[in-house]
Amino acid sequence: MRALSKLTLLLAKLYMRDPIAVFFTLLFAPLLVVLLGLVFGNDPDPIFGGRGYLETNLPAYAAIVIGIVGLLIVPINTVSRRKTGALRRFRVTPLRPLTYIAADALVYFVMGVLGIVLLFLVGTVGFGIQPQGSIGEVFLAASVGAFAFLAVGYVLAGIAPTVQVAQVIGNVPLFPMLIFSGATAPLEVMPERVQSVARLFPLTQVVTLMRGIWLGEVWSSHLTETVILVGLCLVGVAVASWLFRWE
Amino acid sequence: MQFEKGVVPKMITANELRKSYGDTVAVDGASFEVFEGEIFGMVGPNGAGKTTIIECLEGLRLPDSGRIRVLGLDPSKDRYELCERIGVQLQSAALPERIKVGEALELFASFYRRSVDWRLLLERMGMGEKSGAFVSELSGGQRQRVFIALALVNDPDLVFMDELTTGLDPQSRRSMWDMVRDVRERGKTVVLTTHFMEEAERLCDRVAVVDQGRVVALDTVGNLISSLGAENRVVFSVDGRPDLAGITAVPGVVRAEQIGDRVIISVRGSGIIGRVTTALEEDGVGFRDLRVEKPTLEDVFLSLTGKEIRE
Ligand SMILES: Nc1ncnc2c1ncn2[C@@H]1O[C@H](COP(=O)(O)OP(=O)(O)OP(=O)(O)O)[C@@H](O)[C@H]1O
Ligand SMILES: [Mg+2]
């Protein structure tokens, strides 16, 4: 227990010392909210069923944070610690692999949630936007998405032989998903063809689920997304633990 | 010496250890024992298999065959228990990015059931003031001290050090030696590998010469050198070309030769140096800067492996 708490706190500290990770986890999405909020405003629009742009899309920005942490930061940090030999040094101590992963994943999770809290705050304080559903359920939805993407991140980390490869195999799925999942621009403005492909993206599930719960829809109307994300998480954990290497 | 008499407990037994990486045979039947309280060294050329052997002992690698007991434990089965009681300095080690010295020590201390006060430990290594420094900003010698401190933070019975001083300047190297002696003074057993013959000579109670995955010799430095039966050399400078025939006739002199203004007389046996100098004076050979060169571990190494040690 002492190892777990010490390691978690220390990894969190190290995270906060990484300016790039801090920017993309905590600042990037809130900045986007400000920027796009100023550009598109929140006037009611028939495209969003009479709701405003920000009102509909604020929860979708959470998917940006989740996608970046899971697909970029987890694999890059993990591969870098493996390649430098930092993980190997842990292996000649009584530290259990599970303790390391738990501490590491917990830090990414908490940082991601923090980023999401910040972006909601910007929306609420800056633009007066309130969730119609329960905020607890909104965070539950975000957690489901976050765990699924963390698991995928560890799978990528297990596959990538070098940090460079980790960057590539993280960015290649991330970018199209950021653009076409509705995380930055709403899916509704995309051509029908694009929309039908984009609906299959894992990040789209996060966007759809977040939006729905934010707008007060019931979970049973988002069973598909929930099942896909929980499934992704379970498969991801299984594959990642099979692939995990200390060196 | 006392270690061979079986009265001192064994810390390590390795029997017929073998390990290959694909087609490369890294360890090819290595056997040896390490006793409590000694500084045990492994020397050998690059790729001899030292790191592989030491990492099998630490439980980092699984040997293909052979029997290992470290502190009575099987490293492949009881690795967590073993890790509690050993300290490890790896040949190439790293810490997570952006970590500070004190943070690393505090973290590692939390991994063990038993740990020492890491602040005192840093103090003892002369690193007390560096506790708030980033590990990435330390000099090579300072970094190495951090890794030694990490290896000692659980107050281990047995410490492994793989190429402790490679890449350090002579001064830091010497202070590392003091540190290793200090570790032993505290009752710990040390297993180290090195490329420096001088390091092995000065530091180790016993040395295993490793070549091509095998232990080709294992003894105290003194015994290794005398087992070589090598000659001492009397070396001095002369003017002109004196006649060396008289010297060659002195009992115990194997050979005498002149290279430029230097004369090298190879001798064997005891009490010979006095006879040589007397003979030189009798023959009226004016010698300057006379010194005696003893064979070193380097010579043992060369004759056993046919290789110069490389850095
Ligand atoms: N992970 C590995 N994969 C493949 N081959 C390896 C691996 N590690 C070591 N080897 C090979 O095994 C042999 C022994 O290597 P090892 O590192 O044990 O030697 P060493 O005596 O420690 O050398 P050095 O003095 O250079 O550190 C070498 O031929 C090396 O190339
Ligand atoms: Mg080595």
Q: Do A89 and B59 touch (CB under 8 A)?
A: no
d(CA A202, CA B88): 43
Strand-strand pairing, B206-211 and B214-219: antiparallel
A–B CB contacts, 8 A cutoff, strictly below: 64
Give nearest CA residue, ligand 1 atom 16. B49
- Which of B19, B20, B23, B51 to mutate to test ligand 1, by most ligand atoms within 8 A of the CB atom? B51
d(CA B160, CA B154): 13
The one-character DSSP state at B231 is: P
Give nearest CA residue, ligand 1 atom 18. B49
Q: Average pLDDT of chain B?
A: 89
Least Cα separation, residue A20 to chain B (angstroms): 13
d(CA A155, CA A242): 9
- Which of B20, B46, B57 to mutate to test ligand 1, by most ligand atoms within 8 A of the CB atom? B46
Q: Do A13 and B60 touch (CB under 8 A)?
A: no
| Beta bridge mates, B235 | B264, B291
Q: Average pLDDT of chain A?
A: 92
d(CA A185, CA A179): 7
- Would you place residue B2 in the very low, low, confident or very high pLDDT band (cuts 50, 70, 90)? low
CATH number of B231-294: 3.30.70.980
Residues B155-184 pLDDT 10s: 999 999 999 888 888 888 888 899 999 999
The predicted structure's pLDDT at residue B106? 96
Q: Do A2 and B110 touch (CB under 8 A)?
A: yes
- Would you place residue A179 in the very low, low, confident or very high pLDDT band (cuts 50, 70, 90)? confident
Domain spans in chain B, listed from the N-terminal domain onward: 10-226, 231-294
- Would you place residue B226 in the very low, low, confident or very high pLDDT band (cuts 50, 70, 90)? confident
pTM: predicted TM-score of the whole model, two decimal places: 0.87
The predicted structure's pLDDT at residue B249? 86
pLDDT at B5 over 80: no
Give nearest CA residue, ligand 1 atom 6. B21
d(CA B233, CA B251): 15
| Tokens (6 digits) for A170 | 């993280």
Between the CA of B61 and the centroid of ligand 1 the distance, in Å, is 12
With contact defined as beta carbons under 8 Å apart, do B134 and B100 qualify? yes
| Tokens (6 digits) for B219 | 């003894």
Taken in order B95, B99, B102, B105, is the CA torsion positive or negative? Answer: negative
- Would you place residue B281 in the very low, low, confident or very high pLDDT band (cuts 50, 70, 90)? confident
- Would you place residue B271 in the very low, low, confident or very high pLDDT band (cuts 50, 70, 90)? confident
Nearest to B106 among A6, A14, A94 (CB): A6
Residues of chain A with Cβ-Cβ distance to B111 below 8 Å are: 3, 90, 93-95
Average pLDDT of the residues in A45-69: 85
- Here the ipTM equals 0.90
Residue B182: which of B145, B219, B218, B132 has the closest Cα?
B145
Least Cα separation, residue B69 to chain A (angstroms): 16
Average pLDDT of the residues in B255-265: 87
Residue of A89, A90, A245 to mutate, testing the B interface (most B Cβ within 10 Å of its Cβ): A89
What's the number of domains chain A is made of?
1
Q: Do A92 and B92 touch (CB under 8 A)?
A: no
- Would you place residue A37 in the very low, low, confident or very high pLDDT band (cuts 50, 70, 90)? confident
At residue A187, the 3 state secondary structure works out as helix
- Would you place residue B311 in the very low, low, confident or very high pLDDT band (cuts 50, 70, 90)? very low
Share of chain B above pLDDT 90, in %: 58
Taking phi over 0 as left and psi of -120 to 50 as alpha, with beta for the rest, B209 belongs to: beta
| Beta bridge mates, B39 | B190
Specify the CATH number for B10-226; select among 3.40.50.300, 3.60.15.10, 3.40.720.10, 3.50.50.60: 3.40.50.300
Give nearest CA residue, ligand 1 atom 29. B47
The predicted structure's pLDDT at residue B233? 85
Q: Do B107 and A7 touch (CB under 8 A)?
A: yes
Least confident window among A116-125, A177-186, B156-165, B190-199: A177-186
